[in-house]
Amino acid sequence: MAIDPHALFEAWFAEARAAEPNDPEAMALATADADGRPSVRMVLLKGHDARGFAFYTNSDSRKGIEIAANPRAALLFHWKSLRRQVRIEGPIEPTGGDEADHYFASRSRDARIGAWASDQSRPLDSRALFEARYEAMVGRFEGEDVPRPPYWWGYRVVPERIEFWTDRPHRLHERRLFTRGADGGWSEGLLYP
């Protein structure tokens, strides 16, 4: 029987938080549009448990539109200082509204205002325009709480495959692959490097 890959991820993530100098929660998120054209960008892991790996974004952004059209993704954590990678693949589902509200409320006030000011991924005529929109939102929410915009959501990648990659000398790397079965249990195997 395989060990729980979520427990292994948590152990590796704890080591990354202690050793990685910048953003151990940074992960590459790969999505594809309805025609299968891929796109990848860095996002930040904002939660993980047995349900999956969560991040938050504007649902009208390029990634949000791609997720709506093709709700599958791949994630990659690369912890260079530890010489490790974790690859995750699976479907994406939205987090609940309460979960998104809770995380949004934990962000700094400036970041919450920025979510209102930005038409994420849309063309921008000038930086000055964005800064003016931001200042307008500062005025709009002066003395008030900044609520979560209706287009700002959390997403969770529900893993079907999780690969743990460890660098070894002479490119004889170790690759452990966990695959979720139809019953929800995990099987474990090795891959050639």
Residue 127 falls in the annotated catalytic set: no
C-beta of residue 189 within 8 angstroms of C-beta of residue 8: no
Handedness of CA 147, 154, 11, 22 (dihedral sign): negative
The token pair that represents 69 in the structure block = 């059209």
Neighbour count for residue 2 (Cβ, 10 Å): 16
H runs (alpha helix) in 3-151 = 5-19, 62-69, 97-106, 109-117, 127-140
**Residue 148, SS3 per DSSP:** coil
Q: Which of 171, 175, 176, 180 is catalytic?
A: 171
Four-residue CA torsion sign, 115, 119, 123, 129: negative
The span from the CA of 100 to the CA of 56, in Å, is 8
Q: How far apart are CA 174 and CA 187, in angstroms?
A: 17
Active site residues: 171
